[in-house]
Structure 1
Amino acid sequence: MIAPSLVERIFSASTIERWNDHPRPIQFTEMAKQAHKMIIAYVIARTEEDRGRPVDREALLEGGIFELLHRIVLTDIKPPVFHRMMAEQGERVNLWVLDQLEGDLSGLAGNFFGRFRRYLLDPDGWRREKALLKGAHYMATQWEFDLVYDLSRPLSGIEKTREEIESQINEHRDLAAVEEMLLQRGLAGRNRGVYEFVDLVGQLRFQKRWAQTPRIPQTSVLEHLLFVAILFHLVALEIDASPRRRVGGFLGGLFHDLPEVLTRDIISPVKNSIEGLDELVKKYERQAMEERIYPLLPLHWQEELRFFTEDEFENKIRFASGEERRGLSFDELEHLSRREGSLPLDGKILKSCDKLAAYIEASFSIRTGITSPALRQGMANTDEAGTHRNLTVGNFSFSTLFDAFRIGAG
């Protein structure tokens, strides 16, 4: 069972500010940092796979969720103190984190809490995935620091912070993608390759959702991507989806709004009010991706990203041969996903997670006391026909979570 308190705790990462003791050009949040980190982890993992070093993608992605939960609980501890505590009293800290989260996590299907416990307490478990995530963590930190640094030059200790970040990144130069991105970072334009891709993804922090109305927290497109991906993973556990479906859906959530780095977040009422506008936007998104995003990436990565960003809410599967099948039922998707080398996408579940995320974004703000007619109308319109609220897959119904975040519920 997915506890509403767990969903709200995850969403609360969008209220956790980073670098709040430094001058910042924008508000940095923990959710945006973790979202950026997971996309960088994808880049690192793909590069490792290209070099003949297989990566357990599900372990990597779930490890990212574990680390986000861990950081949410320890949010009030500044990074230097946090790292020292973990070095000196790591097991005691982790046991305390587990105690704080057990109520939210113990009811999840698939022994999620048991794996979370092992992830934190077993120093030999997930060793490779932890190394990749750590490399991605410091690359995302450096991206943030590059924006903070110019404003913070007069501050005492800023050079020490810069040196510490560089030292931490240098410890992960054995990862091919980290070494490659560090070399590309100082170049210009498309010569920066995958680092330019990572930089563009980071800019999704600047694009606010529901930008036409006041809202708390004023979440970004980048934060929304990770929130949808995690919601999908929790649902996939509840319906006992195959590992490949869990991976495909998480990555689908992580990339489904990627084209908005080029087009901005065009709200549904605008797209739906002008006949043909939605199709025109989609056409422009595909053209812009072809011109600006795909050329930054290796050719064989491009097809995977197309799979996740085009017709992203359709049930479909891609096989190692390049063949795709679409319009599948959930049972067909489950059966075909067991084929070696397949990449499934539960588009219908993903769309309901996307709508649920938008519903929660509006509900959270209204319950906090920041509301407007546009926000209430947007919440009402999120699932006006009940298509997503009423979606039931296996023994899981989305209505439980929609109802939990309905204004006036509880």
Structure 2
Amino acid sequence: MSTVIRKSLLQLVFSGAFMKRWNDRLRPMELMEVDKQAHKMIVAWMLLTRVTAGMEQAERLALVEETIEGGLFDYFYRLVITDIKPPVFYKIKANREDYQKLTQWVLPQLKPRLAPLGPDFWERMTEALMEPEEKTLSRRILMAAHLYASYSEFRVLKPLNPQDEEMPEIEESFQTRLRGLTDIPGVAELLSGDNEFSRFAARAGQLRFQKRWSQTPRVPETTVLGHMFLVATYSWFFSVEAGACQARRHNNFFTGLFHDLPELLTRDIISPVKTSDASIGELIKQYETQELERKIIGPLKSGGCEDLAERLGYLLGLSVGSEFIATVHEGGEVRHVTESDLRGPKNLDELDPKDGPLLKMCDRLAAFIEADTALRNGINNEQLHQARWRIRQMYEHRPEVMGIQVGALLADFD
């Protein structure tokens, strides 16, 4: 299988780590686009879990597919129009003709990097972006998730801007638009704030405060939250390339989006520490699992969010010991399967499959790009050189994962 995912696409996805948000306001920290996108898609997943309850499989899979792709389309669009302030953009969007003119300018900026994904992907993206109105259920879910994630950022900077005359108007706009979406299951809970559903959404957003590689200078610095979005997005594109069924690529995307959730409780423990000794790695894993159960899974279950707790447990591989183990739901239980199983008879929607090795590869690839980008930006640091070298070595003798030519892809970065 040839690799259509190229260095340029991976770098495009990563470029949101450079994009500053709210940069015309006083803020306690830099708020980055890639972090906001992660929070947005986490909230979209939460809403999807509620909205799809009771749906037939085909309808549920179609809605999830449309929502994930729609979120990625929005992200790519945002990467191009970065300098347009939201109030100006919303005015453009309110005028269909003006919005389509802007979009006709945006699309050619993206095509060189996205065209290798094929004409079908490009056609879906063009069709979605040319339509400014939020009419479909997936678009409305994404809008609710976008408003919640942006409002969360607003509440971080609000106390530092008491003299800003626009702040009350901005807050009212967030609240009014979210209230207009309360027919979507879960949105009213997010707005009320006094329930476990909204507490989980707020807690997930706190991962934007945790810097990765905290003792290593980098440009740009990435957060745990932003890293999770990178892994999720890479997982999505590689899952599509690997021929994954719909359920498998959905599970891979959302597992990538949550794979470092335990770091909300343990902080970012660097890989050399985890791998320095098998017993230390196992101890850390046990502690992460215990804390995850005590502070996340348990409260969700007792707070009326059993649906979220159950799906999180599966995505994070709690019953098999790791999110990086390939699994299916079969015979009423979660079962460990091989890579060849997933590339063959187990690649079925009804088995709810999830890749392990592919997700681990995407996790390492995101770390490689974080290190490589910092080095290319002039940060000459031994830890970054070591990280980049170590990841290359991992795929020197095993250059293919789930049909993806990882070795050839990493060679593009020479």
**TM-score, length of structure 2 as denominator length:** 0.91
Contact 2:9-2:113 at 8 Å conserved across structures: yes
Matches within 5 A, 1:335-346: 335-340=345-350, 342-346=351-355
Q: What does residue 224 of structure 2 align with?
A: 221
Q: For the residues of structure 1 that align with 2:275 and 2:230, how far apart are their CA atoms?
A: 24
Partner Cα distance (1:286, 1:239) in 2? 30
The number of aligned residues is 397
1:74 aligned residue: 81
Please state how far the C-alpha of 1:400 moved relative to its aligned partner.
2.8
2:377 paired with 1:374: no
DSSP-derived class of the 2:186 partner:
helix
Q: Could you tell me whether the CA contact under 8 Å between 2:244 and 2:347 is conserved in 1?
A: no
Checking the alignment, whether the CA contact within 8 Å between 2:248 and 2:349 is kept in structure 1 is no
Shift in alpha-carbon separation, 1:336–1:147, aligned structure 2, 3 A: same
Distance 1:42 1:227, change over 3 A: same
Distance in 2 (CA, whole Å) between partners of 1:348 and 1:388 is 15
Tell me the SS of whatever aligns to 2:52. Answer: helix
Question: Aligned-pair distance for 1:246?
Answer: 1.1
**SS of aligned partner of 1:318:** strand
Deviation of residue 203 (structure 1)?
0.8
- Maintained 8 Å contact 1:215/1:371: no
1:389 to partner: Cα distance = 6.5
Residue 242 in 1 paired to residue 245 in 2? yes
1:107–1:280 distance in 2 versus 1, CA, 3 Å: same
Query: Within 1, Cα distance between the matches of 2:144 and 2:176?
Result: 12
Question: Post-superposition shift, 1:61?
Answer: 0.9
Give distance in 2, aligned partners of 1:387 and 1:252.
26
- Alignment partner of 2:46 out of 35, 43, 51: 43
Tell me which residue corresponds to 2:14.
11
Q: Percent identity?
A: 37
Cα deviation code 1:288-332 (max 9, x no counterpart): 11111013432233222112223111111124x641221322444
Q: CA deviation at 1:392?
A: 4.1
Q: Is the 8 A contact 2:115 2:122 kept in 1?
A: yes
Tell me if 1:119 matches 2:128.
yes
Q: Deviations over 1:3-46 (max 9, x none)?
A: 32121111010110001111112211010001000000011111
Q: 2:101 aligned with 1:92, yes or no? A: yes
Residue 378 (structure 1) shift:
2.0
Q: Counterpart of 2:243 in 1: which secondary structure? A: coil
CA distance in 2, matches of 1:368, 1:204: 25
Equivalence for 2:294 = 291
Aligned to 2:211, which of 203, 208, 211? 208
Contact 1:44 1:178 in 2 (8 A): yes
Instruction: Write out the 4+ residue segments of structure 1 that deviate beyond 6 Å after TM superposition.
Output: 123-126
Task: Give, in angstroms, the shift of residue 165 of structure 1.
Answer: 1.5
| Structure 1 unpaired stretches of 5+ | none
Unaligned runs of 5+ in 2: none
Distance 2:120 2:380 in 1: 38
Larger mean CA deviation between 129-138 and 156-165 belongs to 156-165
The alignment status of 1:62 with 2:72, answered yes or no, reads no
Q: Aligned with 1:111: secondary structure?
A: helix
> Which one is further off, 330-339 or 70-79?
330-339
Give deviations 1:87-132, integer Å, cap 9, x for gaps. Answer: 2211111121111111111111472111111211246898110010
Alignment pair present for 1:307 and 2:314: yes
- Alignment of 1:327 onto 2:337: yes
3-state secondary structure, aligned to 2:353: strand
Aligned-pair Cα RMSD in Å: 2.0
Counterpart in 2 of 1:272?
275
Deviations 1:269-295 (A, max 9, x none): 112224411111111111111111013
